[in-house]
Chains A and B, each alone.
Chain A
Amino acid sequence: MCHKTASLVANALERAGIATVVIGTMHKPLQVVPRAVVTRYINAPVGPAGDARTHRQVIAEALDLLQYATEPRLQTLRGAS
């Protein structure tokens, strides 16, 4: 339900003129948001505690979508440690 309510918030913000990117762990509910990064870290979507390298990789991916995606994108991050 967190992901579904997040999709409501993301789409409402976009309709209000604010660009959004969602970082989550579930594909299906995020298929309806403009931009999303899906990771495999349940309870810690940005990456495991203390893993600054993965945090940086996930956030860099999200920022890349935010700045350069010109159509809806759902990016699955498989390479993170």
Chain B
Amino acid sequence: MVRNEYRERWAQWLPSALDALAKEPPDFAAAIPQMPLPDMSRAALVQPTGKLRVSLISSSGAYDPRIQAPFAASSIVGDPTHRILNVDTHANQIEFAHEHFDHASAKADLECIIPRATLQSLRVTLSRHLISWTGYLLDWPTFIEATIPQIIRRVQADRASAALIVPI
């Protein structure tokens, strides 16, 4: 097994966190702030070149229920996976599996969190897919090792020159 220093620190924290989260109601304050963090340093700026082609990325837990399973929104440990949606998916066909934000604004007007029409009105080309994850997740090692690399590959495969990321 390949050693991963961050995963080891995280695994040491997990049992106490699960104890706190097993309470009714879950004691988020006793668990979440203690979670070990990976390297959070800022990357050097990349300048977009040529005409902007933007990938839209959201932590809203958006998914297309016609073809996708919802995120495990009720799991106390969250869900480290992601979903890829066609960029032209109708707003009425997008649902949200995320229990840590009020969906009312997003359901009334998707532009609040996934601003496709607004970007297009400003003559920005969108890449072929929307990407989403659900922002409440405790399995950061899996998110870092598996999910983020897949997000990067999707953005690259869509030939986006930039990404607009909207956390909730």
- CB <8 Å contact, A67 and B52: yes
The bracket for how many chain A residues form the interface is 35 or more
Distance in angstroms from B163 CB to nearest chain A CB is: 5
- CB <8 Å contact, A44 and B113: yes
How many residues belonging to B are interface residues under a CB distance threshold of 8 Å? 56
- CB <8 Å contact, B165 and A21: yes
- Among candidates B32, B59, B162, residue contacting A21 with C-beta atoms closer than 8 Å: B162
- Give the distance in Å from the alpha carbon of A62 to the alpha carbon of B89 in the complex: 23
Q: Which residues of A contact B (CB under 8 A)?
A: 1-24, 26, 32-35, 41, 43-50, 52, 55-56, 58-60, 62-63, 66-67, 69-72
Q: Which residues of B contact A (CB under 8 A)?
A: 32, 37-38, 40-48, 52, 55, 57, 59, 100-106, 108-109, 111-113, 115, 118-119, 121-122, 124, 133, 135-137, 140, 143-144, 148-149, 151-152, 155-156, 160-168
